[in-house]
Amino acid sequence: MSDPIQDRGFVVVTGTSTGIGAATALHLAENGFHVFAGVRNAEDAETVKAGAPDALTPLILDVTDQSAISAAAATVAGIAGDRGLAGLVNNAGIAKPAPIEYQPMADFREQLEVNLFGPVAMVQAFLPLIRRGCGRIVNVGSVGGMLVLPLNGAYSASKFGIRAVTDALRLELRQWKIDVSLIEVAPVQTAIFEKTYAELDALEQKLSETEYGLYEEQIAAVRKSTEKAAASADPPLVIAEAIADALISDKPDTKYLAGHGGKGIAVAAALPDRERDFALVHELGLPKPE
C-alpha cells in the first residue's frame, strides 16, 4: 500500500481554466493541497473540478472585479477556517501585443489590470488568511519581465511591475515569515500562443492602412519569433513543478527561472541597453533605421 498523501492545507490559484493554471491546480492537488481553483465561468468550474473532485474547489473569480475577489475570499475563509491558507498563486494573465503608438489605452490598461493590479488586489484580500495559515505567496511572472520585445510593451510593463511588487512584498512580509516567490516563465505550451497569433493577425484590421504599413515588418518579425518560441516551448507541468517547490520547499527561492529557454533570455537581458537592442534587432530580423 502506498503512503498516504500529506495534507498540506489550502491554496488559492488564479487562472486555472487552461495552461499553467490548470496544470498547477492538478499538480498541487496531487501533492497534498486542497486547491481553490479560480475560473471565470461555471463551465470551466466543472472541467477543473473533474480533474481531482476531492481536492479541487472551483472559485468563480475575475481578478479585475473587486467584489468577486471579496466574495471569493469570504468563501475560502468559510471553508479554511482557523487553518487559513498555505498559499496564494497569482497566475491569471493575458497578452495583447500591439505597437504602443497605436494601442488603444483600454487594451494597455486591461493588461495591467489583469497581470498587475489583479495580483495586488488578491494579495490584499487574502493576506489575513495567509498570515493565519503561515502561508506563502507565489506570483507567476515572465521572462518578459526581464527582456522586452517590440509590440510587447504593455505586457512587459505588467511583468516588470509584478517583479517589483514581489520584491516589495518579500521585504514587507518578512516580519511574519511569509515567503514570497516569483516564477519567471520562459515559453510554455499554452493557449497564449494561439491568442497572441490572433491578436497580431487582427492588427491588420484594427489599424488603418497607414498605421499597419508603418509596423508591418515588425509585426511579421514578432509573429515569426513567437512561432519559433512555441515550437520549442516546455509543457506547463515544468512551471507547475516550480510553483510547487515555492510552496513546499523548506527554503524556497525568491525567483525561479522556469523553462529551458530562460537562461539565454536572462543573459540577453543583462546586456547593456545598446548591446541588447543590437542583439534583438538581429535575432528578430527587425527593419533597419530609415
Domain residue extents for the chain: 9-190+235-262
pLDDT (tens digit per residue) in 147-200? 999 999 999 999 999 999 999 999 999 999 999 999 999 999 988 899 999 999
155 in active site: yes
pLDDT (tens digit per residue) in 71-99? 999 999 999 999 999 999 999 999 999 99
Q: Would you place residue 240 in the very low, low, confident or very high pLDDT band (cuts 50, 70, 90)?
A: very high
The pLDDT value given to residue 4: 57
- The one catalytic residue among 102, 155, 215, 256: 155
Q: What is the CATH number of domain 9-190+235-262?
A: 3.40.50.720
Q: What is the pTM of this model?
A: 0.95
The pLDDT value given to residue 2: 44
The pLDDT value given to residue 3: 52
pLDDT (tens digit per residue) in 8-32? 999 999 999 999 999 999 999 999 9
Question: In whole angstroms, how far apart are CA 219 and each of 200, 231, 280?
Answer: 7, 19, 14
